[in-house]
Amino acid sequence: MKTASICAGVIGYSYALKFAMGGNEVWAQNRTEKSSELAKERVRESLNSLVTNGVYTEEQEKEILARIHFTTSVKEAVKDAGFIQESSTEHYDVKHEIVKQIEEYAPEDTVIASSTSGLLVTEIAKYARHPERFVGGHPYNPPHLIPLVEITKGEKTEDWAVEKAKEFYKGIGMEPVVLQKEALGFICNRLQMALYREVVNLVLSGVCTVEDADKAVTFGPGIRWGIMGPSLVFELGGGQHGVAGLMTHLHDSISLWLNDMADWKEFPPETAKILQEGVRAELADRPAEIGNTHESLEQYRDKMLIEMLKLHKKL
């Protein structure tokens, strides 16, 4: 199927790669030739990492690259496309203009998904001729590796568009979740920020260092969450009585913990400085093979993601 990735920047190039990895022909669009060259470079680097880590052979790499076509023309990208992913900057006026261009040339029944991480689909499709086919398709970065995509609906989004988006994402190996109503930050950003608020609270309260908080998450609940979600983890934790039994048994203790946890609505002013200092100390304490610079940490992250995805049979 012909697909389009409009505005192939950091997210858009990765989506284009994922579409091609899923067997689709994809047109990756950018406004300038310079931006297209950068997208090509990013695609090659990401694919090289997948080859290095044993996901693809060099021959498969060539086949995937051959399915990605770079263009500066929205018309060329979306004409006859069966699915369109838009990943422009988080500004309504920018998205309104791109929506106008896409709808001028795209088939009327093609689903258009926006990679927005915070804007409302209702507002993005405000001036669209066919707002019923617009959805939000918020990925986790980088989308060519992390399977999750959060599908959001606008006031005029119709169910068939949501179902087509789900079917498409599943078809390329992603795991779509659907928000039944709009929520700021969607699902995952809210979950990770709730956890991070308590990480910051523990560090600022002197309970632990940034490094030990990271270790606690990585080698404690995080390693289980990489296998299954927290409710399923607690289902096993409750033994024969399941999650209900665990919540009942630990009710009094949980209440004490919750009452002692942070509930502030803004991070304290000193947070950024303290966290950055803590991360520098943490990196200095890490061996090179698991990442002790920004670049090597990113390489280690991708390597570990690939290994985990292999276990989940997602790569």
| Residue 154 CA: distances (Å) to CA of 119, 121, 123, 250, 255 | 10, 5, 8, 40, 37
Could you report the per-residue pLDDT of 205-247, keeping only the tens digit for each? 999 999 999 999 999 999 999 999 999 999 999 999 999 999 9
Q: What is the predicted pLDDT for the residue at 13?
A: 98
How much is the mean pLDDT over the chain?
96
Could you report the per-residue pLDDT of 268-302, keeping only the tens digit for each? 999 999 999 999 999 999 999 999 999 999 999 99
Structure pTM?
0.92
Classify burial at 135, counting beta carbons within 10 Å of its beta carbon; exposed 0-12, middle 13-18, buried 19 or more.
Answer: buried
**Residue in the structure block whose two tokens are 């998450």:** 217
**Residue in the structure block whose two tokens are 């950068």:** 38
Could you report the per-residue pLDDT of 34-69, keeping only the tens digit for each? 999 999 999 999 999 999 999 999 999 999 999 999
Residues in CB range of 276: below 8 A, 6 or more apart? none
Q: Where are the alpha helices (DSSP H) in the chain?
A: 10-21, 33-52, 58-66, 74-78, 92-105, 121-124, 159-171, 188-204, 210-219, 221-225, 230-237, 242-249, 251-260, 271-284, 294-311
Domains and their CATH numbers in the chain: 2-178 (3.40.50.720), 188-284 (1.10.1040.10)
